[in-house]
Amino acid sequence: MNDLRDAPAVSPKLSTRGAVRLAIVVGALGVVFGDIGTSPIYTLSTVFNPRDPHPVPVSVDNVYGVVSLIFWSVMIIVTVTYVLLAMRADNDGEGGIMALITLLRRRTARRGRRAALVLAGLGIFGAALFFGDSMITPAISVLSAVEGLKVVDESFESLVVPITAVIIVVLFLVQRRGTAAVGRVFGPVMIAWFTAIGVLGVTGIAGHPEILKALSPTYALGFLAGHFDIAFFALAAIVLSVTGAEALYADMGHFGRRAITRGWLCLVFPACTLSYFGQGALILDDPANVSAPFFLLVPEWGRIPMVVLATAATVIAAQAVITGAFSVAYQAAQLGYLPRLRITHTSESTMGQIYVPWVNWLLMVSVLTLVFAFRTSAALAFAFGMAVTGTITITTLLFFYVARIKWGTSRWILGTGATILLTVDALFLAANLTKLAHGAWLPLLIGLTAFTVMITWQRGRAIVTADRERREGSLHEFIGGLRNGTAPAQVPGTAVFLNRGKQTAPLAMRANVEHNRVRHEHVVIVSVETQPVPRVPDGDRVVIDELGYPDDGITHVTAKFGYVEKPDVPGALAMLDPAATEGRLDLDEATYFLSKIELQAGDEPTMAAWRKHLFIATAGIAADAADSFNLPRDRTIIMGSHIEV
């Protein structure tokens, strides 16, 4: 035996890296995979639900065909489309459909292609559908798990909705603690979950090992070709097995592509596959088991613990889409499709881990409304697939377009891949359209509403920005005018004007000079920038520009903050070198000026009247600027300017 002392020493640095990577994977398991990892609870029972408008009869051939279709649908849509392909297209680490829109806009900005504009609009609709998914997933996931109580004892049925509501409220209340904290708690739970459903799947397969023949794609293709009238409608329920695929992509900014890929291939996909095949074997053994094959796989003594574990796992399923919704809302605001929302960064190691209070509370109210309105997971299942298939189809389409313009992939490779994957997506989308009258209208309504809000904000913002820039005018010309024209009266003290940059003059500063006929002895124009690092060193905090007029007492300062730092403008200004500002600024008495735009619906035919009112109403959810920049309320003056849209 070799002496252990002769073994090569493990570098502490490498050991630490390994521990960090493992922690990230565990965190990803606790946040990202909840949605897709709990699909085995309800997918097969929904496919064979006798109350479905297009029921699938329980027979040996149909069971083999359905199980095979589930396996290959997950393989093609999740493993190939998302894990292997789409997740390679990221925007500075951020994923999801909004990241694809950003890449598309960035690559085609100079070309002005009409196709790119159409695809960008389609992508915004896909993002809007994801918001619908984010509302439906928590409701159906938690309901489906708590409904396991009915398998234990039918008398528990009246408790399902109240228990579900309490769980959902608690889930949204803990979101402020951050994705990382939630992931550390949920990660071990999901490891236990996937281990349990994998083991249970093996026990089911052991009773009917012939079910493993369904791994062959011939069973899926044979079911589609030989029983298309049944298989086509079954796709509307089979799509439930891939719910959460878009959440994997949208949550990439929280944990990174590598951690998500490892978690999926090493644990999640194998465990889900075993569960589906185990349930199929149980149905083959006794068709009566089709009512609740997931929970009936569990020995009677273990059903209550399994209901508890399933409930915990479905809470995590809700977490996956909630964090995805945070990411989509954040990216939409960055792109100008939503107003600036209050964002809290909850991690110093990963920029994408964020909490968006306004989105959190909106989702909570929406999810509770769905729970009390639909009351069962089966009723929600008809609505669920529409949002999922719509988003998946749009993501696939955008990815192949981005792959062409970003990587220059050959047309024949892209054409072949796009034809195969989009054909699969189109089949699922068409099948779900048959459920419009049975609930599929709901995610479309949510999606259309969110889409209308986003494109209205983007259009209104463009109108307001153009008018604002015209009124502000050039900052250099404005300062030059102060020197060459009639100089306003100068009063002692320091005035700080917040502005978006140094190209245009702050509206508040222009109004102070033109209407009050005064300017302060020291004027500082501050622009705030958020850097892609957790914290900015104090030495790099501020950058000074004298704007070409060093003797006028007017200085432009760029204040830089890391993404986890709350911008503190007074604190940043205190770091300025007195020599650079012609003397120390009197920050204890400084007056801060904010330029506020008062929006009004005008008579110009810029938008329909109802869209103008929608734009003005949406502006009301924007974050408060004084609070965002830590300005002293008693020394902050807001000077408004009316702009008509």
Task: Fill in the DSSP letter of residue 213.
Answer: G
Listed residue (526, 559, 519) closest to 543, CA to CA:
559
Spatial distance between the Cα atoms of 355 and 327, rounded to a whole number of angstroms: 9
**346 or 479, which is more confident:** 479
Tokens of 435: 């459920």
Task: State the pLDDT at residue 79.
Answer: 95
Q: Summarize pLDDT for 198-225 with one digit per residue, the tens.
A: 999 999 999 999 999 999 999 999 999 9
Task: State the pLDDT at residue 534.
Answer: 63
pLDDT band for 3, please (50, 70, 90 cuts): very low
Q: Summarize pLDDT for 365-411 with one digit per residue, the tens.
A: 999 999 998 888 877 877 778 888 988 999 999 999 888 888 888 88
Query: Is residue 66 pLDDT above 90, yes or no?
Result: yes
The chain-wide mean pLDDT, for the chain, equals 83
Phi first, then psi: give them for residue 348, nearest 5 degrees. Answer: -90, -10
Query: Is residue 182 pLDDT above 70, yes or no?
Result: no
**373 or 176, which is more confident:** 373
The owner of tokens 């100068």 is: 490
Task: State the pLDDT at residue 230.
Answer: 92
Burial of residue 284 (number of CB atoms within 10 Å: 0-12, 13-18, 19+): buried
**Dihedral-angle region of residue 378 (phi above 0 means left; psi in -120 to 50 means alpha; beta otherwise):** alpha
Q: Which helix or strand (DSSP H or E) is residue 202 part of?
A: helix 179-207
Range with the lowest mean pLDDT among 390-394, 544-548, 602-606? 544-548
Query: Is residue 466 pLDDT above 60, yes or no?
Result: yes
Residue type, 391: T
Q: Alpha helices of 408-497 — where are they, by DSSP H?
A: 411-433, 441-472, 475-484
pLDDT band for 427, please (50, 70, 90 cuts): very high
The owner of tokens 């958020």 is: 530
Task: State the pLDDT at residue 211.
Answer: 95
Task: State the pLDDT at residue 267.
Answer: 93
pLDDT band for 154, please (50, 70, 90 cuts): confident
Query: Is residue 112 pLDDT above 60, yes or no?
Result: no
Spatial distance between the Cα atoms of 364 and 134, rounded to a whole number of angstroms: 10
The top-scoring range by mean pLDDT among 134-143, 296-305, 330-339 is 296-305
Q: Answer yes or no: are the C-beta atoms of 37 and 235 closer than 8 Å.
A: no
pLDDT band for 2, please (50, 70, 90 cuts): very low
How many CA within 13 A on the CB side of residue 49?
A: 21
Quote the distance between the C-alpha of residue 267 and its chain's center.
Answer: 23
**C-alpha gyration radius of the chain:** 28
Query: What is the average per-residue pLDDT within 43-51?
Result: 88
Tokens of 515: 């209407």
Exposure string over 234-271, b if 16+ CB within 10 A, otherwise e: bbbbbbbbbbbbbbbbbbbbbbbbebbbbbbeebbbeb
Q: Summarize pLDDT for 469-485 with one digit per residue, the tens.
A: 888 888 888 887 776 65
Q: Which helix or strand (DSSP H or E) is residue 333 part of?
A: helix 303-335
Task: State the pLDDT at residue 479.
Answer: 80
The three-class DSSP label of residue 630 is coil
Spatial distance between the Cα atoms of 465 and 473, rounded to a whole number of angstroms: 12
Task: State the pLDDT at residue 61.
Answer: 93
Tokens of 205: 């397969």
SS (HEC) of 162-196: HHHHHHHHHHHHHHHHCHHHHHHHHHHHHHHHHHH
Task: State the pLDDT at residue 564.
Answer: 59
Q: Facing residues of 600 across strands?
A: 644
Spatial distance between the Cα atoms of 385 and 380, rounded to a whole number of angstroms: 9
Instruction: Please report, rounded to a whole number, the percentage of residues in the chain having pLDDT higher than 90.
Output: 27
Query: What is the average per-residue pLDDT within 559-573?
Result: 81
**27 or 365, which is more confident:** 365
Residues in the chain, overall count: 645
Q: Facing residues of 560 across strands?
A: 529
Q: Is the dihedral of CA 392, 397, 399, 400 positive or negative?
A: positive
Query: Dihedral angle at the C-alpha atoms of 335, 339, 340, 342, nearest 10 degrees?
Result: -130
Task: State the pLDDT at residue 293.
Answer: 93
Spatial distance between the Cα atoms of 201 and 274, rounded to a whole number of angstroms: 5
Query: What is the average per-residue pLDDT within 544-557?
Result: 75
Q: Facing residues of 543 across strands?
A: 558
Q: In angstroms, what CA-CA distances link 50 with 148, 282, 375?
A: 19, 18, 18
Q: Answer yes or no: are the C-beta atoms of 405 and 107 closer than 8 Å.
A: yes
Spatial distance between the Cα atoms of 139 and 70, rounded to a whole number of angstroms: 23
Query: Is residue 334 pLDDT above 80, yes or no?
Result: no
Phi first, then psi: give them for residue 338, nearest 5 degrees. Answer: -140, 155
**530 or 263, which is more confident:** 263
Beta-sheet pairing, 591-600 with 489-498: parallel
Spatial distance between the Cα atoms of 321 and 330, rounded to a whole number of angstroms: 14
pTM for the model: 0.74
DSSP string computed for 334-354: HHTSSPPPP-EE--SS-TT-E
pLDDT band for 40, please (50, 70, 90 cuts): very high
Query: Is residue 30 pLDDT above 80, yes or no?
Result: no
Listed residue (476, 531, 536, 544) closest to 504, CA to CA:
476
Q: Summarize pLDDT for 503-534 with one digit per residue, the tens.
A: 888 888 888 888 888 888 888 899 988 776 66
Domains of the chain: 12-439 (1.20.1740), 470-644 (no CATH)
pLDDT band for 345, please (50, 70, 90 cuts): low
Instruction: Please report, rounded to a whole number, the percentage of residues in the chain having pLDDT higher than 70.
Output: 89
Task: State the pLDDT at residue 220.
Answer: 95
Query: Is residue 18 pLDDT above 70, yes or no?
Result: no
Other CB atoms within 10 Å distance of the CB of residue 464? 18
Q: Answer yes or no: are the C-beta atoms of 595 and 464 closer than 8 Å.
A: no
Q: Which are the contacts of 66, defined by CB distance < 8 A and separation ≥ 6?
A: 44, 47, 48, 56, 223, 234, 238, 280
Query: Is residue 6 pLDDT above 70, yes or no?
Result: no
Task: State the pLDDT at residue 4.
Answer: 37
Query: Is residue 13 pLDDT above 70, yes or no?
Result: no
Spatial distance between the Cα atoms of 239 and 388, rounded to a whole number of angstroms: 8
Q: Which are the contacts of 644, defined by CB distance < 8 A and separation ≥ 6?
A: 467, 599, 600, 601, 602, 603, 604
Task: State the pLDDT at residue 8.
Answer: 43
Task: State the pLDDT at residue 9.
Answer: 45
Task: State the pLDDT at residue 346.
Answer: 64
Phi first, then psi: give them for residue 488, nearest 5 degrees. Answer: -70, 165
Q: Which are the contacts of 490, defined by CB distance < 8 A and separation ≥ 6?
A: 518, 519, 520, 521
Task: State the pLDDT at residue 343.
Answer: 75
Range with the lowest mean pLDDT among 6-20, 136-150, 402-416? 6-20
**210 or 129, which is more confident:** 210
Spatial distance between the Cα atoms of 591 and 523, rounded to a whole number of angstroms: 10
SS (HEC) of 416-434: HHHHHHHHHHHHHHHHHHC
